[in-house]
Amino acid sequence: MRPRRIDVVTVAALPAGLVAAPSHATERHPPPRRIVENLDRGLVAVPSGKGTFLSRRLLGTEYALPQVLGSPRTGGTPTGDAIAFNVYEGGRRLNREPVTRSNTYQDDSRGTGTYIVRALVNDHELEPSSAALDFARGYAEIPPAAADGYTVQHAWPGDDLDGESEVLVRTADGTTFADSAKVTANSPADQFISVNDGETGTERTRQPVPDDLAADGPSGGHFGIAHLDPDRPGLEGLAIQQSELGVVSRFPWYYYDTGQRLVTGEHPADPTSESDLDVGRGSAADIDLGHPGYAYWTSTADVTRPGAGFFNVQDGKVSTTTPSVNFRIWWDGDKGAELLDCTHVDKWDPKTETSTRLFDPAGVVSGARNATPFYGDLLGDWREEILAETGDHTALRLNTTTEPTKTRIHTLAQNPAHRLGWTVRGCLQST
């Protein structure tokens, strides 16, 4: 089966979102341009409660419409409210008033038929969307190509602008492609990134993996960079410094900005083993809305260690208890983040210092490092989907949230930082 064609559009990257070029742009001084996929509504229908939960995309180009149209109601502030939606089932409109405050809709009617949505701009109804993707079993399944003895570790979407998907894999001496071509190298340590044709499985091009850090030994680590402190200009980051295979880091972790370490974790003064020095993971997420900005924590389980605890970017250490330390995910629809570990989603409660399980699907398994092959905003509104392998290794199963939300922002697939995070580069936990 040929993959669905993905066209590409170029839009201006503005603080308000991805919108068409403003009127003051000139040929001599054009605005910066960014290439993004030309996405459709991504409408999805999932059984929920007594009916069906519908979720759709608001596009980056639509999110800034009030700015472009000069909406007096919003004072020109981009909110996405300039575009509304009508929801149809079998040709029958379900909503009494146009939907403006959410990208979701719960249909508890008894009608039948295919779901579509139609956007309204300035009270003018636009072309209908494609039919909703039907998650009749609560999920969709993607059967991978047969590969006995293998499990899926990574999966990611991508396109090099020709309308067909590519697959990037790490290869080494002996790797064989679909046309029987092989990688040859002088040493097993010589590794490459190969770009493969997604339809035929043949290699298109190859680049060597940089080895400029080889002289520093096998010390692991990963770095996360974002605007973690809302009151501090620029970006901040959390860096995890592992100690393993006899290589000991100077410190287990640090919170930093572009010019300095702001907070530095400490190793125990008298370690009794290598495990006392190794910090394998760390996370940063906005899961404690009682403190400004992001929280961050590591996998240091022993609360007596100097580097252990739950920290806030402004208020420092606020607790000795920490939640799971794997991935952050947007799932339940409020403005705080949730946590993805293995295949389940948890909500951290900073008041009780405990987690509540929001989603725990049956029949799927996680892979190496308690991770699923992929998670990200693939369908529906701005929340993220989880792609996990079935327990019998016969399919990849895609799950999406059915939690309603009044938070209305454009699809994260057209947020450059989120889109970049779809591609794993190095440590799986760095995404």
Q: Using one digit for the tens of pLDDT, what is the confidence trace for 109-120?
A: 988 999 999 999
Residue 401 belongs to some domain of the structure: yes
Pairing of the two strands 282-285 and 295-298: antiparallel
Q: Are residues 123 and 229 in the same domain?
A: no
For the segment 144-159, the average pLDDT, to the nearest whole number, is: 71
List the single range of 73-82, 163-172, 266-275 with lowest mean pLDDT.
73-82
Question: Residue 28 burial (CB < 10 Å; 0-12/13-18/19+)?
Answer: exposed
DSSP assignments along 308-335, one per residue: -SEEETTTEEEES-----SEEE--SSSS
Residue 392 belongs to some domain of the structure: yes
- Whether the predicted model's global pTM rises above the 0.85 cut: no
Determine the pLDDT at residue 161: 63
Determine the pLDDT at residue 232: 94
Of 243-257, 258-272, 300-314, 324-338, the range with the highest mean pLDDT is 324-338
Amino acid at 16: A
In the structure, what pLDDT confidence band is assigned to residue 281 with cuts at 50, 70 and 90?
confident
360 in Cβ contact with 311 (< 8 Å): no
Q: Is the pLDDT of residue 360 over 50?
A: yes
For residue 1, give the nearest of 121, 210, 142, 133 by alpha carbon: 142
340 in Cβ contact with 386 (< 8 Å): yes
Q: Is the pLDDT of residue 213 over 60?
A: no
Of 47-61, 233-247, 275-289, 299-313, the range with the highest mean pLDDT is 47-61
Determine the pLDDT at residue 65: 59
Residue 177 belongs to some domain of the structure: no
In the structure, what pLDDT confidence band is assigned to residue 283 with cuts at 50, 70 and 90?
very high
Residue 235 belongs to some domain of the structure: yes
- How many whole angstroms separate alpha carbon 257 and alpha carbon 114? 50
Q: Are residues 237 and 370 in the same domain?
A: yes
Determine the pLDDT at residue 188: 76
Determine the pLDDT at residue 50: 93
- How many whole angstroms separate alpha carbon 347 and alpha carbon 359? 10
Q: Are residues 116 and 242 in the same domain?
A: no
Q: Mapping DSSP to helix (H, G, I), strand (E, B) and coil, where does residue 249 land?
A: coil
Q: Are residues 253 and 371 in the same domain?
A: yes
- How many whole angstroms separate alpha carbon 100 and alpha carbon 186? 60
365 in Cβ contact with 392 (< 8 Å): no
In the structure, what pLDDT confidence band is assigned to residue 26 with cuts at 50, 70 and 90?
low
Q: Is the pLDDT of residue 49 over 60?
A: yes
More confident residue, 252 or 139: 139
Determine the pLDDT at residue 306: 77
Q: Are residues 388 and 251 in the same domain?
A: yes
Of 75-79, 213-217, 238-242, 319-323, the range with the highest mean pLDDT is 319-323
What are the phi and psi torsion angles at 313 (to 5°)?
-65, -25
Percent above pLDDT 70 for the chain: 81
Q: Are residues 301 and 395 in the same domain?
A: yes
Q: Are residues 112 and 226 in the same domain?
A: no
How far is residue 90 from each of residues 108, 112, 395, measured CA to CA in Å? 14, 6, 31
- CATH number for the domain spanning 49: value is 2.60.40.10
Determine the pLDDT at residue 246: 76
Q: Are residues 402 and 298 in the same domain?
A: yes
More confident residue, 210 or 50: 50
Mean predicted lDDT score pLDDT of the chain: 83
Determine the pLDDT at residue 303: 75
Number of domains in the chain: 2
Residue 139 belongs to some domain of the structure: no
Residue 218 belongs to some domain of the structure: yes
Q: Is the pLDDT of residue 13 over 50?
A: no
Final residue belonging to a domain, choices 112, 134, 156? 134
Residue 25 belongs to some domain of the structure: yes
How far is residue 365 from each of residues 142, 342, 369, 392, 424, measured CA to CA in Å? 15, 7, 12, 9, 19
Q: Are residues 221 and 78 in the same domain?
A: no
Q: Is the pLDDT of residue 285 over 80?
A: yes
Final residue belonging to a domain, choices 90, 116, 134? 134
In the structure, what pLDDT confidence band is assigned to residue 332 with cuts at 50, 70 and 90?
very high
20 in Cβ contact with 30 (< 8 Å): no
List the single range of 59-68, 120-129, 185-194, 334-343 with lowest mean pLDDT.
59-68
Determine the pLDDT at residue 428: 63
Q: Are residues 274 and 417 in the same domain?
A: yes
Q: Which domain holds residue 71?
A: 8-134
Residue 201 belongs to some domain of the structure: no
Determine the pLDDT at residue 19: 30
Q: Is the pLDDT of residue 429 over 80?
A: no
In the structure, what pLDDT confidence band is assigned to residue 357 with cuts at 50, 70 and 90?
very high
More confident residue, 219 or 193: 193
Q: Are residues 106 and 254 in the same domain?
A: no
In the structure, what pLDDT confidence band is assigned to residue 105 with cuts at 50, 70 and 90?
very high
Determine the pLDDT at residue 194: 92
Q: Are residues 290 and 402 in the same domain?
A: yes
For the segment 128-140, the average pLDDT, to the nearest whole number, is: 97
For residue 264, give the nearest of 274, 276, 249 by alpha carbon: 249
111 in Cβ contact with 54 (< 8 Å): no
More confident residue, 66 or 370: 370
In the structure, what pLDDT confidence band is assigned to residue 174 with cuts at 50, 70 and 90?
very high
Final residue belonging to a domain, choices 101, 134, 167? 134
Q: How far is CA 166 from the centre of its chain?
A: 19
